[in-house]
Amino acid sequence: MAVEQQGVIQQVQKRMLVSIGQVARKLGIKEGDYVRVESGENGASLRIVPIAWHLKEQEYFWSEEWQGKVRKSLKDLEKGRVGAHETVEGLIEELENAADRKNR
């Protein structure tokens, strides 16, 4: 659902709280939902993005480091820099050969 760009003026309350009631209804955000608040490039704007939360055991996956690895892997996949192996031994042999070439 697209939300038309319009301004809502709110006063910042104690503890830096701001009500997003009108915008939340348009975005389908309900009490208890999680949102990500992003600042604009110049810091003059805020963006509210509804998100689906994850389990504590999955915290590593959402870290910036891990997401960087995922992005790198997807780029490798797009560029065809992947391989298949008939056996685990074949994979290990290729990894050992790559390590040997790197250490020369």
Q: 72 and 89 share a domain?
A: yes
8, part of any domain: no
Q: 39 and 68 share a domain?
A: no
pLDDT in the model for residue 33: 85
4 has pLDDT over 60: no
Q: 25 and 64 share a domain?
A: no
If one counts the domains in the chain, the total is: 2
Percent of the chain scored above 90 by pLDDT?
A: 32
Q: 43 and 61 share a domain?
A: no
Q: 43 and 21 share a domain?
A: yes
Instruction: Return the amino acid letter for 41.
Output: E
Residue-range definition of the domain harbouring residue 84: 56-103
Beta strands in the chain (DSSP E): 34-39, 46-51
Whole-angstrom Cα Rg for the chain: 23
Q: Write the pLDDT tens digit of every residue in 16-69.
A: 988 888 888 888 888 888 888 888 888 788 888 888 777 778 888 888 999 999
